[in-house]
Every structure is written in structure tokens, then in C-alpha cells.
């Protein structure tokens, strides 16, 4: 299979542009994401060609990826972030992220933006795909949960988790918390927007407005008080989970009001 055939970048770019037009509240966030895609795609392609060793990744990305990430951030990011990313050495942050160290938000953003596509390019298949709570390819935490389309309107497809580090997917039971392993149904909760009735062409009707995110929901656990955003491809086949999750900030705010903390903040820190 050719590199072009498996490239995820065109779909991410198209979906981000589509969601940016649809959700004005996410304009600034998606503008930065779209600006990051060219240097990330370039890093992904070069990593597939160069195959840098694990012990070289921080130095390789600091020299060859970070400058373009900083440039994109200065061009399209918030002023405070744009100023901060160019004012610190990159390699220690990248090495720390690879080692699993806790980083401040700016270092975490810089490391993830630069190294995420590199780990994605270098990842190797992991046997049966894994069924645990950590990524079977790199050991990373899940970023989100996604449900495959089942082909039947009343049947929900199987659940997978998406890695926050290398973007690999692996199977996970819908009846288990990906954060702590809780399996008691009473401790697992799902929050979704509610829609009580049809609306007319003017957006008015007997019920409420249709949901902004009909294919997104909060999958939470009251045992560990953690949650993930869940993307249902059966409700929107055009969704690209890692892109759609970026626009779920209103759901993130609601989850915080319920006392839940996201298992892994996304690239933009939400």
C-alpha cells in the first residue's frame, strides 16, 4: 500500500474546513489546526522516509519539525501562545513528552504538535489491535472514543479508542470505563444533547432546536470522575474523530460542570 493511499491528512483538512464553516465558535481553534496540518503532514512523510530511531526522535523533531510548527502557531494561534512557543528550547520538552513527563500546557502543545505525526508515521501494527485501556502500539492514553457505523439505524457499531500520542485505534468494550476499568452500568454515564421534536424551515417547531453535535456525546464514569468525547460514525459518516473532537468544547464545559475531568486534553488543551 502506498504512502498516498494511507495518508490521513486530506480527510483531516477537509473536515476541519467544513467544521470551521459550520461552527463559528470554533473558528480560532480550527484556524490554528488547519495551519498546523501542512508542517505535520510534512513531518509524517519525512519520518516515513527517514525512519529516525527512538533515541533520536526529540533531536530530529526539534531541528526539522518544531520551526515550522512555531511558524504556523505565530501565524494563526492566539497571541499568548504564539509568543510563548518561540521563547523556550524545544528539545527538552519533546524528550520529556516522549518519556511521559508532565509538561506545562505550552510545552505539551509544542511537543504533541511536533511529535504526534512522527509517532503516527512510525507506529507498527500491534497484533490483534489490543483490548486494554492503553494504546497497544505506544502505550499512550486514549484521546477519544469512536463508534463504527453498523449499517443499521437502530444498532450501534463497535467501540474503539483513539490514541492521544500515535493516533492508533483499538477495540474497547462499551461497558467499560477506558480510564479506570469500571464495568458497573450504574457508574457509567452518557450525556448527549436533547432534541424533543421536529423543527420547520425557519428553525422553529414544537420541540427544541436540533442538536449542534448529533454525533458527539460525553462518556463519563462516576467512579474515577473521568470522561471521553465519543464520536458516532453511524450518525455522521463524514466525521473524522480527532477533528470533530476539537469542536466539542461546549460538551467539555458541560462535563466540567458535572465534576468530570477529561482523560486526556486534546492538542489544543481542552
Which pLDDT value is given to residue 87? 83
Q: Which of 69, 50, 70 is nearest to 60 (CA)?
A: 50
Q: Report the pLDDT value the prediction gives residue 199, as an integer from 0 to 100.
A: 44
- Quick check: 101 and 83 in contact, CB under 8 A? no
- Determine which helix (DSSP H) or strand (DSSP E) holds 146, and give its type and residue range: strand 142-147
Q: 3.90.1670.10, 3.10.180.10, 3.40.640.10, 3.10.20.30: which CATH number matches 142-262?
A: 3.90.1670.10
The pLDDT value recorded for residue 149 is: 87
Q: Specify whether the CB–CB gap between 1 and 8 falls below 8 A.
A: no
**Which residue, 165, 174, 147, 109, is CA-closest to 244?**
147
pLDDT recorded at residue 88: 84
pLDDT recorded at residue 128 = 57
**What does pLDDT average to in each consecutive run of 10 residues of the chain (270 residues)?**
65 98 96 98 97 96 97 96 90 96 95 98 74 88 93 78 96 94 95 62 53 94 98 95 97 96 96
| Residue 127: per-residue pLDDT | 57
Q: Do 145 and 230 contact (CB within 8 A), yes or no?
A: yes
So what's the pLDDT on residue 208? 61
**Domain ranges for the chain:** 3-122, 142-262
pLDDT at 98: 96
- Residue 267's nearest CA partner among 73, 131, 64 is 73
User: What is residue 233's predicted lDDT score, i.e. its pLDDT?
Assistant: 96
Amino acid at each position: 500500500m502506498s504512502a498516498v493511499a494511507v495518508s490521513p491528512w486530506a480527510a483531516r483538512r477537509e473536515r476541519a474546513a467544513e467544521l470551521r464553516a459550520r461552527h463559528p465558535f470554533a473558528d480560532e481553534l480550527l484556524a490554528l489546526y488547519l495551519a498546523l496540518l501542512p508542517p505535520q503532514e510534512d513531518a509524517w512523510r519525512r519520518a516515513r522516509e527517514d525512519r529516525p530511531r527512538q533515541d533520536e526522535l526529540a533531536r530530529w523533531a526539534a531541528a526539522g519539525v518544531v520551526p515550522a510548527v512555531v511558524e504556523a502557531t505565530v501565524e494563526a494561534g492566539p497571541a499568548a501562545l504564539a509568543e510563548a512557543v518561540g521563547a523556550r528550547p524545544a528539545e527538552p520538552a519533546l524528550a520529556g513528552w516522549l518519556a511521559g513527563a508532565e509538561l506545562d500546557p505550552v510545552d505539551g502543545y509544542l511537543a504533541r504538535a511536533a511529535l504526534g505525526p512522527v509517532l503516527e508515521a512510525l507506529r507498527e501494527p500491534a497484533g490483534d489491535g489490543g483490548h486494554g485501556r492503553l494504546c497497544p502500539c505506544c502505550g499512550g492514553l486514549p484521546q477519544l472514543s469512536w463508534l463504527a457505523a453498523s449499517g443499521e439505524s437502530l444498532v450501534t457499531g463497535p467501540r474503539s479508542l483513539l490514541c492521544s500520542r500515535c493516533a492508533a485505534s483499538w477495540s474497547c468494550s462499551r461497558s467499560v470505563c477506558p480510564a479506570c476499568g469500571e464495568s458497573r452500568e450504574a457508574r457509567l454515564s452518557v450525556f448527549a444533547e436533547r432534541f424533543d421534536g421536529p423543527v420547520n424551515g425557519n428553525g422553529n417547531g414544537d420541540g427544541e432546536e436540533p442538536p449542534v453535535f448529533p454525533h458527539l456525546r460525553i462518556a463519563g464514569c462516576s467512579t474515577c470522575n473521568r470522561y471521553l468525547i465519543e464520536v458516532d460514525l453511524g450518525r455522521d459518516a463524514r466525521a473524522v474523530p480527532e477533528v470533530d473532537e476539537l469542536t466539542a468544547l461546549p460538551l467539555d464545559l458541560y462535563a466540567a460542570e458535572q465534576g468530570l475531568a477529561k482523560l486526556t486534553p486534546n492538542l489544543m488543551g481542552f
